[in-house]
Chains A and B, each alone.
Chain A
Amino acid sequence: MNLRRFLLEKTPFLFASLFFLLLCGCLLWAFLPEKWAPALILFVSFWIVFQLPFLVSEYIRKRRFYNELFQRLSQLDNKNYIGEMFSSADFIDAKMLEEIICICNKSYLDDLAVYKSAQENYREYIELWVHEIKTPLAWGMLSLENAQAELNPDSYEKINGAYEEIEHKVQQVLYYARSNSVEKDFQMGAIPLFDLCQTASRQRARLLISHQVRLSFLKLDHTVYSDSKWLLFILGQLLDNAVKYKGIEPPVITFDSYVENHRIILRITDNGIGILPAERPHVFEKGFTGSHGHYAEKSTGMGLYICQKLAGRLGIELRTACGNRGREDAACDETGTAFEICFPYDTDRLTEFLSPDQA
Chain B
Amino acid sequence: MQPPRRDTILIVEDSVSVRQELELFLTRQGFFVKTITRFDNVAGDSLATAADLIILDLNLPEESGFAVCREIRLKSQVPILVVTVREADIDQVLAMELGADDYVTKPYNTDILLARIKAVLRRIRPLSSELLDCGTYQLLPAEQTIQIGGQRYPFSRNEWLIFISLQENLGCIVSRDQLMRRLWNSNEFIEENTLSVNVNRLRQHLSDIHLMLTIQTHRAVGYRLVARDAASLAEECLSGSDETRQKE
Residues of A within 8 A of B (CB): 131-132, 134-143, 145-146, 149, 153, 157, 163, 167, 185-187, 198, 201-202, 205-206, 208-210, 212, 214-215, 217, 229
Task: Decide if B208 is an interface residue (CB 8 Å cutoff).
Answer: no
A-B contact pairs, 15 of them (CB 8 A): A134-B85, A135-B106, A138-B108, A139-B17, A140-B107, A142-B24, A142-B25, A143-B21, A146-B25, A157-B175, A187-B89, A198-B189, A205-B184, A206-B181, A214-B191
For window 101-140 of B, CB contacts with A under 8 Å fall at: 106-108, 110
Q: A139-B15, A187-B89 are in contact. Are A153 and B173 (CB under 8 A)?
A: yes
Whether A137 lies near B177 (C-beta < 8 A) is: no
Q: Which residues from chain A contact B22 at a C-beta distance below 8 Å? A: 142
Whether B25 lies near A229 (C-beta < 8 A) is: no
Q: A135-B18, A153-B175, A209-B180 are in contact. Are A167 and B88 (CB under 8 A)?
A: no
Whether A217 lies near B222 (C-beta < 8 A) is: no
Task: Decide if B75 is an interface residue (CB 8 Å cutoff).
Answer: no
Q: Closest 7 interchain pairs by CB?
A: A142-B21, A138-B107, A137-B107, A134-B85, A138-B106, A187-B89, A205-B184
Residues of B within 8 A of A (CB): 15, 17-18, 21-22, 24-25, 28, 85-90, 106-108, 110, 172-173, 175, 177, 180-181, 184-185, 187, 189, 191-192, 221-222
In whole Å, how far is A129's beta carbon from the nearest beta carbon of chain B?
11
| Cα separation A291 to B155 with both chains bound (whole Å) | 50
Whether A146 lies near B187 (C-beta < 8 A) is: no
Whether A210 lies near B177 (C-beta < 8 A) is: yes
Whether B28 lies near A146 (C-beta < 8 A) is: yes
| Cα separation A298 to B183 with both chains bound (whole Å) | 32
Q: Which residues from chain A contact B88 at a C-beta distance below 8 Å? A: 185
Q: A137-B107, A149-B172, A202-B185 are in contact. Are A229 and B21 (CB under 8 A)?
A: no
Whether B18 lies near A229 (C-beta < 8 A) is: no
Of all chain B residues, which has the CB nearest A178?
A: B88
Whether A229 lies near B107 (C-beta < 8 A) is: no
Whether B177 lies near A202 (C-beta < 8 A) is: no
| Cα separation A350 to B142 with both chains bound (whole Å) | 36
Q: A131-B85, A145-B25, A153-B173 are in contact. Are A139 and B18 (CB under 8 A)?
A: yes
Of all chain A residues, which has the CB nearest B186?
A: A202
Q: Which residues from chain A contact B184 at a C-beta distance below 8 Å? A: 201-202, 205, 208-209
Of all chain B residues, which has the CB nearest A174?
A: B87
Q: Which residues from chain A contact B90 at a C-beta distance below 8 Å? A: 185
Contact of B107 among A141, A214, A217 (CB under 8 A): A141
How many residue pairs bridge A and B at CB < 8 Å? 81
Q: A135-B18, A146-B21, A206-B181 are in contact. Are A215 and B86 (CB under 8 A)?
A: no
Contact of B110 among A135, A137, A145 (CB under 8 A): A145
In whole Å, how far is B195's beta carbon from the nearest beta carbon of chain A?
10
Whether B187 lies near A202 (C-beta < 8 A) is: yes
Q: Which residues from chain A contact B18 at a C-beta distance below 8 Å? A: 135, 138-139, 142
Q: Which residues from chain A contact B110 at a C-beta distance below 8 Å? A: 141-142, 145
Whether A153 lies near B89 (C-beta < 8 A) is: no
Contact of B221 among A140, A153, A202, A215 (CB under 8 A): A153
Which of A145, A185, A217 is packed against the most chain B CB atoms within 10 Å?
A145
15 extra interface residue pairs, beta carbon distance < 8 Å, beyond A136-B17, A205-B185: A131-B85, A134-B85, A135-B18, A138-B107, A140-B107, A141-B107, A142-B22, A143-B17, A167-B107, A198-B187, A205-B184, A209-B180, A212-B192, A214-B191, A217-B189
Which of B24, B108, B189 is packed against the most chain A CB atoms within 10 Å?
B189
Of all chain A residues, which has the CB nearest B108?
A: A138
Q: A141-B107, A205-B185 are in contact. Are A146 and B177 (CB under 8 A)?
A: no
Contact of A137 among B24, B106, B173 (CB under 8 A): B106
Of all chain B residues, which has the CB nearest A132?
A: B85
| Cα separation A205 to B186 with both chains bound (whole Å) | 11
| Cα separation A185 to B15 with both chains bound (whole Å) | 28
| Cα separation A23 to B180 with both chains bound (whole Å) | 107
Whether B21 lies near A139 (C-beta < 8 A) is: yes
